[in-house]
Chains A and B, each alone.
Chain A
Amino acid sequence: MNATVTAKKQWTKGFRFWSDREDLLGPLFLLPAVVYIIALVGIPFVIALAYSVTDVTVGNTSLDFVGLQNFQAILKTPQFKQGLGNSIMFTLVSQVIIIVLANILAIILSADFRGKWFARFLIMLPWATPITLGTIGWLWLLDSKFSPIDWVFRYLHLLGEPGALLGAQKNLFYLARLELARASIIMIYVWRMLPLAAVILMAGLTSIPQDLLDQADVDGASFWRTLFQIKLPLILPIMSIALLFSLIFTVGDMAVVYTLTRGGPVYYTQILPTWAFYKGIESGALAEGAATALFLFPVLLAVAILVLRFSRRTEVT
């Protein structure tokens, strides 16, 4: 009886002791998160690196070191080259369009007007909803026979009659023609990432001190001068962060291409992630798949470090 009371007392005392020790609580609180991330991000990443330099497949899981052979092998396949080119082109072109449109959109949305809440809701929809579902909407909008876009073109006599601007055929076949399929994919990336980039830039715009803008106004600075010499330089760090997110989410996405074209026509809209998926998951060539997936990682890492450094430095000065 007495012993249990003392034990209980001691336990309470012990609990009280460690629950007050900041140097113990801090690491203890952090530990589960760190363990989880090391176990399920760190280790898989190391496995990915290991796979890329071995000859592992689903059928033969022994890891025999083969050096850079996988990289040499994938570099020879036309699908990989196409995928690499597409990944780079889709990303670069969409980022340029996104950054221009996001600036315009942020400036428009940072003013007050009636119905702003609803406008923001509509504009945020592409980012908020699961990308595959949005892409399915586009798949139907770009249908080769019943596309309502084609209907509008026909209605405006731009399509489907002799001498029409877009051609005499009834439809444009967006996803069956190489250039149009590529343009469609880029457009969906823009559609998807624009809201995120715009709201991040908006946060940057609203953080500019009002007296600075008032002063510029008093000094008679025009709209364009205020924009290019005050607003844009001040939100440059935020803009680089917006660009970083949009870039990484675009490069790392495979849902758009997978849902929209499955890499077709033929393999001309294949990107690295979809190609890695076909190789690594569907054909079981784990090593080549891992090498394909890892291929752009050094570039991404370098870009991320550069952007974070830049946004930090400009913040200080």
Chain B
Amino acid sequence: MIRVSRLLKASLRYGAVILFCLFSASPFIWMLITMFKQDRDLYRSANNPFLFNEPPTLAHLDLLFKHTNFPIFLWNSVVVGVLVVLITLAISIPAAYSLARLVGRWGERAGIGIFLVYLVPPTLLFIPMSRVVVSLGLSNSIWSLVVVYPTFTIPFSTWLLMGFFKSIPRDLEEAARVDGYSRLASFVKVILPLSISGVVAVIAFTFTLTLHEFVYALAFITTSTQRTISVGVPTELVRGDVFYWQSLMAAAAIVAIPVGLVYNVFLDRLVAGFTMGAVKG
């Protein structure tokens, strides 16, 4: 009797897991199937859409990389992402350390304040921001994104790093100072090397945040060759009513799945940041 109920429980759990996985993954599964399908297979509604009724083909990937701006979007996204990561690290590492260790009691409150800035939706600010970009002479260029994206990556990274610095025992810094390091040197030579794993996680998340961003990229840039992945793919690869579905799906899958993998590796750190330290693991 007990064994039966245990078996029932396990199969219930697996059933639920599979349902949730199917719901979450269905667009991606569909992308992976579609991107290799031939036209005469895909556009025949009697065909089973989940099978290859005709042999799979790489023609659509070829089209995507050789005859669309997709490689340019990809390159723009990488350039913007790398530059924003650098700016973000340069500004948020000192800020996070300051909030965690240097400024004392009000550091915690100021930290929450900075994190709340991350929650300000871009849809609230994109109109004045587009005027700021124009007045800086950056409209229609990826440089506008390099300047504006740190407004949400700095708060986010500062918050994550702050939690990370806090978890390093204070004794280490005190020992370093006894050894004759100054306050600054003990941070640069002792604390920073210990924080590499936290910094790597922040790099991963900052980069994906820049990949995700849509509103600013749509509002500031209208030239096709300056567009990034998140705007270029949905607006440029659809020409009027003609959808190059297979290439479109390939473009989405090529970006989506690697990002998903990276995300999963660093997930626990992200969760620690989002729960605002309310959960002490």
Contacts and interface: CB of A to CB of B under 8 A. Distances in A.
B231 interface: yes
Interface stretch (A13-21, A69-77, A176-184, A213-221): A13-21
B21 A238 contact: no
Interface string A133-158: 11111101100011010010000000
B264 A277 contact: no
A108 B13 CA distance: 7
Interface stretch (A1-9, A161-169, A224-232, A244-252): A244-252
Interface string B126-149: 111111100000000000000110
B215 A19 contact: no
A44 B208 contact: no
Interface of B is mostly: helix
Contacts of A130: 211-212, 214, 229-230, 255-256, 259
A231 B96 CA distance: 33
Contacts of A304: 116, 119
Interface string B231-243: 1011000000001
Nearest to A245: B274
Interface in B154-184: 154-155, 158, 182-184
Chain A contact-residue range equals 35 or more
B264 A133 contact: no
Given A273-B123, A294-B124, A124 B263 contact: yes
A137 B252 contact: yes
A44 B91 contact: no
Given A119-B17, A254-B215, A311-B278, 15 more contacts: A29-B98, A32-B94, A51-B127, A119-B20, A122-B25, A131-B212, A135-B234, A137-B28, A137-B30, A138-B27, A140-B31, A252-B124, A286-B131, A293-B123, A304-B116
Interface of B: 10, 13-14, 16-17, 20-21, 23-28, 30-31, 34, 42-43, 45, 48-50, 90-92, 94-95, 97-99, 102-104, 110, 112, 114, 116-117, 119-132, 147-148, 150-151, 154-155, 158, 182-185, 208, 211-212, 214-215, 218-219, 229-231, 233-234, 243, 245, 248-249, 251-252, 255-257, 259-264, 267, 270-272, 274-276, 278-281
